[in-house]
């Protein structure tokens, strides 16, 4: 199954899929889970078990594992293997480098570890992306317009015709004619998100920024309804891992998944 085929499969007949971000913060684990790797492992195992019926994709932010050193990397591999194969498994690693270095990154995340896709920084150019895109069964999402306030420093730089983020989006079909490259566009930029969806409907989007960062799920759902195109994967991390309610841990995860699916108008 190609990356594009799997992306369509996990989102079903709809244009939107819920992506769950596995960014374990030891300071925010529920009661009963120790703030160490053992506690994190148990916590994530439970999250995956509860959320599997609802998740089209999982996005694993590698920094939350790499910070623990070799043992954290071992947990990253374990979690990647634990993720259901029926979901799209994304390594949120934001890598980007030249030549043999990019090849080794691609081998690490897309061969040694069973991720289906990886996030990439396109700043060094299209040749640095190719090692991640040669296999049509694997894919990537390049950073285009990110959620952080400093995104304006470079991503909105204009030559009078294009903003830099628009140049990135414009190059995607050239960089990946097999259709296995998407873009990261934050829900914290709703006006730009509408324009991007209209201008680049053939580009699948990974959309972070819902919930804790201020993005609105219902706005994204409306954009998907208004403009037909490739699937949108809407990522929620803190809003699902650490929901602000009075339910116990297991019930809160289930409730948060259902609530975000409702906001995003995802059936099933």
188 domain residue, yes or no: yes
Task: List pLDDT tens digits, range 98-127.
Answer: 989 999 999 999 999 999 999 999 999 999
How confident is the model over 54-83, as a mean pLDDT? Answer: 98
Distance CA 100, CA 106 (A): 10
Do residues 150 and 178 lie in contact, with contact meaning Cβ atoms separated by under 8 Å?
no
24 domain residue, yes or no: yes
Distance CA 6, CA 118 (A): 15
Distance CA 169, CA 44 (A): 33
Rounded to two decimals, what is the model's pTM? 0.96
What's the domain count of the chain? Answer: 1
Q: How many CB atoms lie within 10 A of CB 210?
A: 30
Dihedral of CA atoms 237, 240, 246, 247 in degrees, nearest 10, equals -150
206 domain residue, yes or no: yes
User: Which residues form the domain of 164?
Assistant: 3-263
148 domain residue, yes or no: yes
48 domain residue, yes or no: yes
268 domain residue, yes or no: no
Catalytically annotated residues = 94
Evaluate if residue 212 carries a pLDDT over 90: no
235 domain residue, yes or no: yes
Evaluate if residue 153 carries a pLDDT over 90: no
Residue 104's CATH number: 3.20.20.70
166 domain residue, yes or no: yes
Bridge partner list, 207: 234
Query: Which tokens go with 149?
Result: 């306030």
Q: How many CB atoms lie within 10 A of CB 218?
A: 12
């Amino acid at each position: 199954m190609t990356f594009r085929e799997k992306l369509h499969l996990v989102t079903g007949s709809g244009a939107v899929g819920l992506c769950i971000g596995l960014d374990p913060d030891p300071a925010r684990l529920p009661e009963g889970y120790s703030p160490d790797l053992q506690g994190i492992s148990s916590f994530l195992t439970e999250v995956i078990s509860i959320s599997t019926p609802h998740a089209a994709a999982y996005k694993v932010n590698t920094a939350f594992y790499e910070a623990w050193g070799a043992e954290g990397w071992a947990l990253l591999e374990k979690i990647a293997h634990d993720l259901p194969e029926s979901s799209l498994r994304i390594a949120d690693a934001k890598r980007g480098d030249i030549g043999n270095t990019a090849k080794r990154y691609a081998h690490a995340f897309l061969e040694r570890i069973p991720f289906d896709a990886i996030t990439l920084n396109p700043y060094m150019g299209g040749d640095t992306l190719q090692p991640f895109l040669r296999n049509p069964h694997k894919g990537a999402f390049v950073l285009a317009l990110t959620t952080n306030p400093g995104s304006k420093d470079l991503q909105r730089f204009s030559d009078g015709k294009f903003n830099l983020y628009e140049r990135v989006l414009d190059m995607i079909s050239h960089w990946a004619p097999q259709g296995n490259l998407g873009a990261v566009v934050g829900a914290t930029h709703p006006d730009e998100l509408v324009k991007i969806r209209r201008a680049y409907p053939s580009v699948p989007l990974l959309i972070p920024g819902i919930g804790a960062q201020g993005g609105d799920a219902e706005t994204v759902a409306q954009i998907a309804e208004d403009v037909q195109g490739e699937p949108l994967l809407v990522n929620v991390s803190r809003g699902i891992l650490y929901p602000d309610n009075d339910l116990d841990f297991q019930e809160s995860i289930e409730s948060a998944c259902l609530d975000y699916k409702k906001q995003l108008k995802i059936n099933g």
